[in-house]
């Protein structure tokens, strides 16, 4: 594992300034440039101090009954370089390398067994919900005392998708295949356009991700996954080719597997296609698997350190959100 990463809010601001300058030069002058800067670069905070906001919603949502479940087992927590256990919650990290030369692929697997489905939580960059608000995965994780975390779906880059986090509804704009984590340990791929956020919460949904595509259908590699476009907006039209990847898989109720594939680093890790990612998830025994934000965002964090090596440079790229398990 690499040394612990420190927060880089200054770096995030610098990146925004650089992107702003590039967009201002390359896009046509006037309304188009102003719109693009506003939509894809300038931060727009809608809810600040999300932690307090979610606590205030406990009386009006169904998540209040599950608060504090992990704290009851704090006395049994044990941390090593590769695993964590607290009661019946366990995280085991492993590294897999295949191929050779420029065809080498390196990926990281976190096998996670939860004592309660709500132990897996979500957090937003800067503890703020909105657009274009980013922070390194490791920084968000440290802010929430996470023992384990991966990058989320980068919800803040788009204005569509159903966003439910820790039992609270933030956005209800169904657009694509989503992934729903239920409080009973069930995890399902669903069509966002056929339901509403309120209906999902009423059915017991705890968290959602809105990216995709679904990688497996009943344990078999899904058809057409190489042709999916997650978005049609600026800068994120396709997710094809060999790329760094992040995925979530379901082995059984409350038994999940998270995979981060490094890429764009010939000789270390080339990345994988969508079909290649699906094959990894199938080989791990997942029956359901779902692709989430990849590329430079693909990050796995464990016990204070980065696990993977983003883009072969050991350098994180800011993201909108994470999934994490807090250390008891």
For 324, residues 6+ apart whose C-beta sits below 8 A from its C-beta are 120, 121, 122, 123, 140, 141, 144, 146, 148, 149, 150, 301
Domain regions of the chain by residue span: 9-326
Picking from 184, 203, 190, the residue whose alpha carbon sits closest to that of residue 253 is 184
Gap between the Cα atoms of 294 and 247, Å rounded: 9
For residue 63, the model assigns a pLDDT of: 35
- The predicted model scores a pTM of 0.84
Q: Is 40 a residue whose pLDDT tops 90?
A: no
**Between these two residues, 201 and 19, which has the higher pLDDT value?**
201
The tens digit of pLDDT for each residue in 145-156 reads: 999 999 999 999
pLDDT category at 328 given cuts 50, 70, 90 is confident
Query: Is 23's pLDDT higher than 90?
Result: no
Q: Give dist(CA 213, CA 131) in Å, integer.
A: 22
What does the mean pLDDT of the chain come to?
85
pLDDT tier, 324 (very low <50, low <70, confident <90, very high otherwise) = very high
Angle (nearest 5°) at CA 92 between 241 and 188: 60
Provide the token pair at 253.
């109720």
Residue 79: pLDDT band (50, 70, 90) is low
Tens digit of each residue's pLDDT (9 = 90 or more) over 265-303: 999 999 999 999 999 999 999 999 999 999 999 999 999
Q: Is the pLDDT of residue 6 over 60?
A: no
Instruction: Using pLDDT thresholds of 50, 70 and 90, give the confidence band for residue 30.
Output: low
Cα distances (Å, whole numbers) of residue 312 to 132, 270, 301: 25, 10, 16
Give residue 315's pLDDT band: very low, low, confident or very high (50, 70, 90): confident
In whole angstroms, what is the distance from residue 115 CA to residue 64 CA?
17
């Amino acid at each position: 594992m690499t040394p612990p990463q420190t927060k880089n809010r200054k770096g995030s601001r610098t990146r925004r300034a650089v992107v702003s300058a590039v967009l201002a030069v390359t896009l046509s002058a006037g309304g188009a440039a102003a719109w693009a800067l506003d939509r894809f670069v300038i931060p727009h905070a809608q809810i600040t101090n999300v932690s307090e906001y979610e606590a205030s919603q406990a009386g009006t949502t169904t998540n209040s009954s599950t608060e504090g479940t992990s704290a009851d087992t704090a006395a049994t927590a044990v941390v090593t370089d590769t695993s964590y256990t607290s009661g019946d919650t366990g995280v085991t990290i492993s590294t897999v390398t295949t191929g050779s030369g420029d065809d080498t692929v390196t990926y990281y697997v976190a096998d996670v067994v939860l004592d309660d489905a709500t132990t897996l939580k979500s957090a937003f960059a800067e503890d703020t919900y909105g657009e274009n608000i980013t922070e390194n995965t490791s920084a968000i994780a440290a802010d929430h005392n996470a023992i384990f975390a991966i990058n989320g779906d980068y919800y803040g880059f788009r204005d569509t998708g159903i966003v439910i986090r820790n039992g609270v509804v933030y956005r209800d704009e169904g657009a694509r295949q989503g992934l729903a984590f239920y409080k009973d340990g069930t995890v399902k791929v669903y069509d966002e356009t056929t339901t509403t956020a309120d209906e999902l919460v009423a059915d017991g949904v705890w968290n959602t991700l809105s990216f995709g595509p679904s990688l497996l259908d009943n344990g078999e590699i899904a058809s057409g996954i190489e042709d999916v476009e997650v978005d049609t907006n600026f800068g994120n039209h396709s997710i094809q080719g060999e790329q760094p990847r992040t995925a979530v898989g379901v082995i059984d109720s409350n038994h999940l597997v998270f995979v981060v594939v490094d890429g764009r680093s010939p000789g270390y890790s080339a990345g994988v296609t969508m079909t290649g990612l699906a094959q990894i998830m199938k080989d791990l025994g997942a029956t359901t698997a779902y692709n989430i934000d990849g590329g430079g965002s693909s990050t796995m964090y464990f016990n204070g350190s980065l696990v993977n090596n983003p883009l072969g440079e050991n350098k994180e790229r800011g993201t909108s959100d994470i999934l994490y398990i807090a250390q008891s």
